[in-house]
Amino acid sequence: MASNKSALLCCAALLAMSSGCAGTATGGVALRPDGSPGPERCPEEALKAMGYLRLSVGDGAIVELDANQTDARPITLYDGPVESLLDEDLGPFESPTRLYGRVWTGGPQVVIRYYAARPPRGSRVPICAVARLGKGQLRKRPDSKPGTAILEFSRAGVYVVDEFL
């Protein structure tokens, strides 16, 4: 099984390198009036890579939202880039694969979109995934200052998507 995972990750890495993908696709996202990001298409390179890796919409795992604040309570996230860590395997991506994405704190809850994954012994692979929690989603605390989101927990679910809504 490990050799299958390695082969799939190699194929996805080759696809990413041959497509000229830089690993993130965060520029140009339109913002809603509340400051949260609007809809965004998943890049074709990420859709192809996820297909090769057999990642399906809805596949999920647990993620540490900020690699620099693991197991902390509460945590503070800032608008901009974020590096997260998988706590569980997500398809062929084993824990502690790093996820690279972007945080928006403008709305009532934080929005985190992931654009790339980097396994412990591999290259960046383009993906599309989002961070989510249960009923309260990723609601920020009322004492959060502009440009930040204070969250009660350092972990959330991460789910594969084929577009960002």
- Distance in angstroms (rounded) separating the CA atoms of residues 59 and 57: 6
Per-residue confidence band for 28, with pLDDT thresholds at 50, 70 and 90: confident
Q: Residue 6: what pLDDT?
A: 53
Q: Residue 135: what pLDDT?
A: 63
Which pair of tokens denotes residue 77?
A: 């996230």
CATH of the domain at 14: 2.40.128
* Mean pLDDT to the nearest integer, 77-88: 97
Higher pLDDT, 51 or 137: 51
* Mean pLDDT to the nearest integer, 101-128: 96
Domain containing 33: what range? 2-164
Looking at the predicted structure, is the pLDDT value of residue 93 above 90?
yes
User: How many domains is the chain partitioned into structurally?
Assistant: 1
Per-residue confidence band for 24, with pLDDT thresholds at 50, 70 and 90: very low
**pTM exceeding the 0.75 threshold for the entire prediction:** yes
Contacts of 158 (CB under 8 A, 6+ apart): 60, 61, 62, 63, 84, 86, 90, 99, 114, 129, 130, 131, 132
